[in-house]
Amino acid sequence: MWLEILLASVVGFVIYWFVSRDKEETLPFEEGWWGPGARPTAPEDESIHPFKVETSDEEINDLHRRIEKVRLTPPLEDSRFHYGFNSNYLKKILSYWQTEFDWRKQVEVLNRYPHFKTKIEGTFPKHQLERDCHGNSILRHWT
């Protein structure tokens, strides 16, 4: 009887171990290339360059034309934001962007702070460096 209990415990433990093992595969961390074409043989220029956010009237007009042409599907009844962004609310945002939002002023607001960009593995990430009231650096990063 004790042998059967021991054998059942061992079999149960082995089954539990196989079922509960972490089977999630991860990509290996290595040097990559995310830019167009093949990785160049010459070393990348990793210097950091300042830049200013710029836009043109043509870009803003193009954005307004795209907003006018947007086609939204109605959301599911009473779904709020449970199944993605609610298209009824998105209509309000699009209307605000087209009629009230001052794109030129926003560019001025963004350019109050220094912006920088560099090239890393074929991409050009942009970041913004600010200092808080205590002199600490705050790095904001976006691509």
What confidence tens digit (pLDDT) does each residue in 75-92 have?
988 888 888 889 999 999
Tens digit of pLDDT for each residue in 94-103?
999 999 999 9
Q: Are 58 and 102 in a shared domain?
A: yes
Sequence-distant (≥ 6) Cβ neighbours of residue 49 within 8 angstroms: 116, 117, 118
Q: Are 102 and 87 in a shared domain?
A: yes
Residue 41 lies in a domain: no
Residue span of the structural domain in which 98 resides = 54-111
Strands across the sheet with 49-51, in order? 49-51, 115-117, 126-131, 137-142
Q: Are 98 and 85 in a shared domain?
A: yes
Query: Which residue is it, tokens 């990509």?
Result: 27
Q: Are 124 and 137 in a shared domain?
A: yes
Q: Are 95 and 133 in a shared domain?
A: no
Residue 69 lies in a domain: yes
Token pair in block for residue 74: 């109605």
Please report the pLDDT score of residue 16 as a whole number: 81
Domain count, the chain: 2
DSSP state of 82: T
Residue 65 lies in a domain: yes
Q: Coil, strand, or helix at residue 61?
A: helix
**pTM of the shown model:** 0.58
Residues 46, 123: Cα–Cα separation, whole Å? 11
Please report the pLDDT score of residue 60 as a whole number: 94
Query: Over the chain (143 residues), what is each successive 10-residue block's mean pLDDT?
Result: 80 79 71 81 85 92 95 90 91 95 93 84 73 68 58
Residue 133 lies in a domain: yes
